[in-house]
Amino acid sequence: MDVYTTSFTYPRRSRHSHSPASSLDLQSGDVNPQSHLQHPNPQDPSLTVDNEAIQKLTMMAMSLHGCHISYYMLDSGRGWNFHITGAYQQVMLARGMILKECPVQHRAAIKVARSEILDFPASKPALKSEVRRRLDEIASQTFAHIAVVNSPLSLSSRTPPDGISSSAGWSGLETERVCELVVTGSEDAVDQARVRLLVMLDELSGLHAEYCEIDHKLHAIICGRKRTVLQSIQEETATNIYLPSPLQGMLGPDHTASSAPLPAGVSRNTNLIYITGEFFGVQRARDMLYSVSVSKSTSVISRDTAILPRKLDWMITDKADDLKTIMTDNATFIQFPALGSSTSLITVYGDQRVNIQRTIRSIMQLACQYYVGSFWLLPVQFNALLPPASLNASSLTTLLKQISISTGAEVVFKSMCFEMHGLEHEVRAAVTMIMDLDIIKTFHHEIRFQIELANEHREFISGKKNGKINKIMQTTNVKIKFETFNDHNFLIDIAGPDSSVLQGLTLLQEELPAEISFHVPEAYHKRIIGVGGRSIQKIMKKYGVYVKFSNAEEFAALGGYNDNEDNVVARTPAKNAINLDNLKQSVMELVNPKDKDYVNETVSIPRRYHRTLLGEKSIFIRDIETKTNSRVRFPDKESASDVVTIFGPESQVQIAAAMLLDHVPFEADMAVPPSVDLTRLCASPEFAGLVDRVKRELQVSVSPNFKTAASANGSAAAEPPSEYSFKFRCQRSNSDFLITAREMLEQFLLNHAVHVYPSSTAHSHKRGDSFAEAFPHFDSKVLSATKTRGHGFAESVDMGRVDLSRSEVVERRLRMANSSPDVKALFNSPAYIYNLDDDDHEHYIPGPAMDYWGTPSGNGGAPLPPIGSGIPHRTRHSEDAIKRGSDSLLEAKLKEQITKPRTLQNRAQSLDLTYSLSRITESSRFAPPESPTTSTGDTGGNSSPTSATGPSFPSVYGPPTTSRSGVAQRPNRVLDEEAVEEVSRVISNLGL
**pLDDT value for 387:** 55
**pLDDT value for 290:** 96
Q: At what angle do helices 500-511 and 467-476 cross, to 10 degrees?
A: 160
SS3 string, 801-845, reads CCCCCHHHHHHHHHHHHHHCCCHHHHHCCCCCCEECCCCCCCEEE
DSSP 517-568: EE---GGGHHHHH-GGGHHHHHHHHHHT-EEEE--HHHHHHHT-SSSTT--E
| Residue 737 DSSP one-character state | G
* SS3 label, residue 444: strand
Q: Give the pairing type, strands 68-74 and 79-86.
A: antiparallel
**pLDDT value for 809:** 43
- Answer yes or no: are the C-beta atoms of 94 and 69 closer than 8 Å: yes
SS3 string, 29-61, reads CCCCHHHCECCCCCCCCCCCCCHHHHHHHHHHH
Determine the longest span between alpha carbons in the chain, in angstroms: 139
**pLDDT value for 178:** 83
Strand partners, 517: 569
CATH number among 3.90.180.10, 3.40.50.10490, 3.40.50.300, 3.30.1370.10, domain 515-591: 3.30.1370.10
Q: Give the pairing type, strands 4-10 and 345-350.
A: unpaired
Strands (E), 398-443: 410-414, 417-423
Q: Which of 230, 357, 977, 283 is nearest to 635 (CA)?
A: 230
**pLDDT value for 464:** 85
Architecture of domain 1-14+48-103: 2-Layer Sandwich (3.30)
Kindly give, in sequence order, each residue whose CB lies less than 8 Å from that of residue 757, ignoring residues fewer than 6 positions away: 671, 672, 673
Distance CA 400, CA 394 (A): 10
**Other CB atoms within 10 Å distance of the CB of residue 469:** 19
- Answer yes or no: are the C-beta atoms of 612 and 237 closer than 8 Å: no
CATH class of segment(s) 665-712+719-762: alpha beta
Give span(s): CATH 3.30.1370.10, the chain: 1-14+48-103, 207-363, 515-591, 598-661
Q: Which of 585, 451, 594 is nearest to 513 (CA)?
A: 451
**Other CB atoms within 10 Å distance of the CB of residue 357:** 19
Q: Which of 111, 109, 113, 110 is nearest to 174 (CA)?
A: 113
- Residue 127: φ, ψ to 5°: -65, 140
Distance CA 776, CA 917 (A): 14
- Answer yes or no: are the C-beta atoms of 662 and 613 closer than 8 Å: no
Q: Which of 759, 900, 920 is nearest to 836 (CA)?
A: 920
Report pLDDT digits (tens) over 148-204. Answer: 988 665 544 444 444 444 444 444 566 777 889 999 999 899 999 999 999 999 999
Report pLDDT digits (tens) over 684-733. Answer: 999 999 999 999 999 899 998 876 654 444 444 455 666 788 889 888 77
- Is the torsion defined by CA of 520, 523, 527, 533 positive or negative? positive
Strands (E), 158-219: 178-185, 208-213
Which CATH code is given to the segment(s) 207-363? Answer: 3.30.1370.10
Kindly give, in sequence order, each residue whose CB lies less than 8 Å from that of residue 396, ignoring residues fewer than 6 positions away: 5, 413
What residue type is 362 in one-letter code? S
**pLDDT value for 401:** 92
User: CB-side exposure of 916: number of CA atoms within 13 Å?
Assistant: 22
SS3 string, 834-892, reads EECCCCCCCEEECCCCCCEEECCCCCCCCECCCCCCCCCCCCCCHHHHHHCCCCHHHHH
- Answer yes or no: are the C-beta atoms of 396 and 411 closer than 8 Å: no
- Residue 411: φ, ψ to 5°: -115, 130
Architecture of domain 598-661: 2-Layer Sandwich (3.30)
Task: Please identify every stretch of the chain with a pLDDT value under 50, giving residue numbers as ranges.
Answer: 15-47, 155-171, 257-260, 262-267, 710-717, 759-886, 899-912, 914, 921-974
- Answer yes or no: are the C-beta atoms of 323 and 342 closer than 8 Å: no
Go through the chain and tell me how many residues it has: 992
